[in-house]
Amino acid sequence: MNEDITSLLAKAEKSLSAAQILATEEHHGFAASRAYYSMFYVAEALLASLGKAYSSHGGVIGAFGREFTKSGRLNAKLHRWLIDAQDIRNVGDYGVGRDVSAEQAKEVISEAQEFIAVGKDYLENAKDKEPRGE
């Protein structure tokens, strides 16, 4: 793994840790936002492993779906989690009069934990996980 990928994975871990702390303090919207960002950083790392980079959240999310879930490299639920987490993050960061519930934050944090684990596993074993075919 190159330094950029390693840095993004470290950032994802720190963001998840922050999400967990925020959740214990009942800052559910901010917790969900940090959990989303932990997934986002992993998605960026995965795309970087293919030599790809994008300048927007939508670009990263769309490319992640194309390159990793539609291709069969990773389970499609990860793309759905990333999309849903961004929607919840938008409520937490920008929603006025709407709140992220404790249950929503807990779910996004749980999904982020699995997202990080799957992403790290993929990156550590990428040669074994590439689609095969003649």
3-state per-residue secondary structure call for 61-129: HHHHHHHHHCCCCCCHHHHHHHHHHHHHHHHHHHCCCCCCCHHHHHHHHHHHHHHHHHHHHHHHCHHHH
Question: pTM of the prediction?
Answer: 0.91
Question: pLDDT tens per residue, the chain (134 residues)?
Answer: 899 999 999 999 999 999 999 999 999 999 999 999 999 999 999 999 999 999 999 999 999 999 999 999 999 999 999 999 999 999 988 887 789 999 999 999 999 999 999 999 999 997 554 543 33
- Give me Rg for the CA atoms of the chain: 15
CATH topology of domain 3-128: Four Helix Bundle (Hemerythrin (Met), subunit A) (1.20.120)
Domain ranges of the chain: 3-128
